[in-house]
Amino acid sequence: METVTNYALKEWDIAIQALEMGETIMLLRKGGIREQGGKFKVDHDKILLYPTFEHQKPTLLKPEYANLVQPVASGWHPETVKISSFAEITNILSWNNAQDESLINSLIKYHIWNQAFVRDRLQFKPDQPLYILLLRTYKLEKVYNIAYHPSYGGCRSWIDLKETISLENMVPILMQEDYDQQVSTIDQILQPS
């Protein structure tokens, strides 16, 4: 594995907190407005997690997470961004609107969002799949406070940080056995025999 990287996935701060606490291994993605080609795709499977704040909406989160989000004005960003975790995207599952919606709804206990968020994601760009990303998350040895750069803004999923971050001495959030069990359970829900 590389010892440094600058590749980052932008995600709601509250989702990153949940990944770092081991409360979820799942992200749901459709992609931002400024995605290359207008569609979401996984550019890198080993990435830093870059927290975003602008589009976090308490009304799209389960109550236990909604209370932790402070809405911010459109265009707001911190002057300094804290990078504290790295993740390996181990599984990329796709979901399209032709599939049985009850299966995607049965994943509710495995992520931080509520049913309104799932419905919203399914209805946004309905001809494109909803991607279910399963991430093995690691805490970095230290928190990196990096200066915000205008190239980090905009509605897109992937950014290249202006500086590299060390991956030395990372610590996995979940033990491999625990992570594998969650992946297996999610896979069984989405692909029943």
- H or E element that contains 49: strand 46-52
pLDDT band of 83, cuts 50, 70, 90 = very high
| Full residue range of the structural domain in which residue 150 is found | 2-183
**pLDDT average, residue stretch 166-189:** 96
Residue 188 lies in a domain: no
Residue 193 lies in a domain: no
**pLDDT average, residue stretch 157-165:** 95
**pLDDT average, residue stretch 86-104:** 86
d(CA 124, CA 44): 23
Please tell me which residue, 135 or 1, carries the higher pLDDT value.
135
Which amino acid would we find at residue 72? V
| Mean pLDDT for the chain overall | 92
Residue 189 lies in a domain: no
Among 38-42, 79-83, 96-100, 119-123, the range scoring the smallest mean pLDDT is 96-100
Task: Give residue 33's pLDDT.
Answer: 64
156: tokens are: 């897109």
> Nearest-CA neighbor of 113 among 187, 26, 184?
26
Tens digit of each residue's pLDDT (9 = 90 or more) over 5-54? 999 999 999 999 999 999 999 999 986 666 677 778 898 999 999 999 98
Residue 186 predicted with pLDDT over 90 = yes
Residue 156 lies in a domain: yes
Greatest pairwise CA separation for the chain in angstroms: 50
* Number of independent structural domains in the chain: 1
Residue 120 lies in a domain: yes
Residue 192 lies in a domain: no
Residue 190 lies in a domain: no
The whole-angstrom distance between residue 140's C-alpha and the CA centroid of its chain comes to 17
Among 2-11, 35-44, 84-93, 112-121, the range scoring the smallest mean pLDDT is 35-44
Task: Give residue 133's pLDDT.
Answer: 97
User: Exposed (0-12), middle (13-18) or buried (19+): which is 137, by Cβ within 10 Å?
Assistant: buried
Paired residues of 28 in beta bridges? 132
What's the whole-model pTM score?
A: 0.94
CATH code assigned at 79: 2.30.130.30
- H or E element that contains 165: strand 158-166
11: tokens are: 């995600």
